[in-house]
Structure 1
């Protein structure tokens, strides 16, 4: 967070719901307090240009900025500071409201609507989404099915010479023949330089990577090539000659050291499934009418 935002956050302790991002416990885009347009249902602790700040609003600000136990742990001095922050916040919000153009006011209302909807969805999911618990069997199956996530990766070191740019069919065949003739060379970097001098548009590369992370054309060649013997030559889409220099398999972490991580991953997936199922149930009861058939 920048220095200017920190200064604003200090000013906005317990901010009314106009300012954006003044507390790190709520999402951005917060709404204007409706107390400014409607009479307070309870006595005002203070009014700012006629707009009431109530005990309920102060309690919410205390909880939001200081935590659930704020009312029990802080004294009158801190409570008064939060109240003063609310007063400053309300005054700034009122000034900002006066400066809004019609377009800005409309956009702010849309932010308020979206934020309110977000809170309602979050509340509904908390009350109704019921994900299945993650079993020990699921943890074990995930561990066994994804060894590369916990070590056990197959890492191959390989090098290749590849054509650069489009080639005519004749040039493609000539380059393939040059590869086959020189494939036994030990120094492919020098071989690449020699081929360039002979007029072939090629370049040399060497890499060390997990096979699963390679692009499809290279992955197939690296997988098929025998370690430290023989070469693979492909001619589409580029003319490539490749050989694998060495292979290593990383040590797999024991299940007991990664089970918590796996359980967290699976719990997230279970929650997504529960939310998907819940959304499906809600949508089955909703009447949805699109303006045009193209959106259906």
Structure 2
């Protein structure tokens, strides 16, 4: 009988040991499961957070996305928006002898663009622009440009300062190009190369090679320079009498899609084919252009 009790006791102990071992095994499984589940949940949370950042826009500037590019553009433009502050007109430049009866030629009064700046653009809306590099290497403005409101252009010339309101909303690609070039000092020290005084009343500037051509004694070569890229026309007027009124800033071109950096300032109401982008309107300094026109053409 004792032997049977001993056997039952031994069997009970073995069962308890097995049950205890099984309980430990189940506990270990649960611990491992919780750990794996926690890691999975954490990974899922990270992925969800990342997805939300991408979906909602997040910090695209750090990611180098479109919004980041725009923010960088606005920051750079703001940094350069006061680059001409404190620059005074030099008063340099000569007055040559105009040719009698000549109505289209080099201005007799030398006009130099001594410093050009653009105010910070409003990027509350944007427009896609296509800038075509002439050689596939020349740098171009970024393809998304601010397209809201206006900007102020300040042009310090040797004869005085001209200011203009730039229609960024109406001509965002052209305004973007000017902001891009002005930040680099592209227009600084350029020379205006063409004046017309009959039927068409404009002073044309913006050729980076004009001054060198004039100083080399080959003014006929002025007018062919560009920033190394071109883009399409925009903000065109209607075909009408006086469609380019006095004070208009407009872009010169050599045909559709060839707008670059050359612009003309209209100093008397002018009628032209509606082929030239209207960039903005002179707000002060038009009398400087009128003074140049009065000196005649060479």
TM-score by length of 1: 0.17
Larger radius of gyration: 2
TM-score by length of 2: 0.17
Higher helix share: 1
